[in-house]
Amino acid sequence: MIGCSDFLAEIGNLLEGDVAAQLRAELETHLAHCRNCQVIYDSARNTVKIVTDSGSFELPPTISRTVSQQVMGRIREGHTK
C-alpha cells in the first residue's frame, strides 16, 4: 500500500511521465484517497508549466549584440586570453 512518503519519493518521475504502468496505477490509487498529495501533484504540474511557459530570462537583443561585438573584436585582435 503506497503511503504519502512513497508518493513523494516518486513524484519526480511521475511529473516526467517516467513511471511503469503498475506503479502508476498504485500512485493514482493513492491520489484518489489523499487530498494533500493530490494538491501537491496538481500544483507541482502547474508550477512546471508556468515556469516553462513563462519566457523568463530572455536575453535582450541589444545585450547579445554587444557581447558578440566585444568577443569578435577581441578574437580578431588576437586577444583571446
Partner 1 sequence: MTCNGPEPLDASSFFREYFGFMPRVFKAQSALHNVVNAEAAMAASILGGTSLSQMEAERIVLATACTSRNVYWATLSYQTLSVLGVTEGELDRIMSGEAWPYRESTEAALLVTAWANFVCAIASGLAIEPDFDAISIPDARPRILTGVLSPDVLKSRSAGIETALRAYQYGPPGGDHHIIKSVVSAALARFRDPAKLLNPPEPNSRLSQKGVPIDPDADLVARIQRGDVDAFEEIMERHSRRVYRTLVGVLGNPEEARDGMQDTFLKAFQYISGFEGRSKFSTWLVSIANNTGIQRLRERCPEQSLEPDDSDETFRPKEFRAWTDDPEQLYAKAELRALVEQNVMKLPAKYRVVLMLKDIEQLSVEEVGGALGLGTAAVKSRVLRGRLMMREALAPHFARNARGGAA
Query: Which residues are near partner 1 by CB under 8 A?
Result: 8, 11-13, 15-16, 35-36, 39-40, 42-44, 46-59, 63-64, 67-68, 70-72, 74-76, 80-81
Closest distance to partner 1 from the beta carbon of 1 (Å): 21
Closest distance to partner 1 from the beta carbon of 24 (Å): 17
Rounded distance between C-alpha atoms, residue 50 and residue 53, angstroms: 5
Buried b (16+ CB within 10 A) or exposed e, 31-67: beebeebeebbeeeeeeeeeeeeeeeeeeeeeeeeee
Closest distance to partner 1 from the beta carbon of 32 (Å): 15
